[in-house]
């Protein structure tokens, strides 16, 4: 079973949104369904235990996808169980690498938007504190990276 984790700062906006969108795409792919598990975490514990941000949850609910979530901190113990970490932006890539260095086994870590060959910029900007349209933009950018990510996951299996 391939373990993938999406990483952002607080684990309430971007990473849970990406987790569920990627999870839905994987479950619809006969080559990946049942062979890849997706989760998410944050590099900060400031929102640990909280649910998903209401704007991220609304996007998922509108698509008929789950919006239940409990934010958690990315730790070396979690890192040791993961095969691939998908960081939302450069800051979380750096912070994630620091956490991974303390793990017994070290997963690969990459930027999520690196899987979108048409991406302008590499960061998935944080929509926190912005209107719902920014969350929609975030969902669109995540969705654009999914085909490239699925191709990568197929190659790994």
Please confirm, yes or no, whether 89 is among the known catalytic residues: no
Residue in the structure block whose two tokens are 């969902």: 139
Query: Rounded to the nearest 5°, which phi and psi values hold at 119?
Result: -60, 135
Q: 116, 125, 126, 155: which one is catalytic? A: 126
Please confirm, yes or no, whether 110 is among the known catalytic residues: no
Structure tokens belonging to residue 6: 């999406």
Structure tokens belonging to residue 66: 């789950």
Q: 13, 14, 113, 116: which one is catalytic? A: 14
Residue in the structure block whose two tokens are 């994987």: 26
Q: 8, 13, 113, 116: which one is catalytic? A: 8
Return the bridge partners of 37, or none.
Answer: 3
Please confirm, yes or no, whether 126 is among the known catalytic residues: yes
Q: Which residues are catalytic?
A: 8, 14, 126
């Amino acid at each position: 079973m391939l373990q993938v984790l999406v990483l952002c700062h607080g684990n309430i906006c971007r990473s849970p949104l990406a987790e569920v969108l990627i999870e839905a795409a994987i479950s619809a792919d006969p080559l990946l369904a049942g062979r890849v598990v997706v989760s998410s975490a944050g590099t900060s514990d400031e929102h640990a235990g909280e649910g998903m941000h209401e704007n991220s949850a609304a996007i998922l609910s509108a698509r008929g996808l789950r919006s239940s979530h409990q934010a958690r901190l990315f730790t070396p113990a979690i890192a040791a169980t993961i095969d691939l970490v998908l960081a939302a932006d450069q800051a979380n890539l750096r912070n994630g690498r620091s956490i991974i260095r303390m793990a017994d086994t070290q997963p690969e870590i990459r930027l999520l938007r690196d899987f979108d060959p048409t991406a302008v910029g590499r960061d998935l900007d944080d929509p926190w504190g912005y209107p719902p349209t920014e969350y929609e933009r975030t969902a669109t950018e995540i969705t654009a990276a999914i085909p490239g990510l699925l191709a990568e996951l197929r190659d790994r299996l």
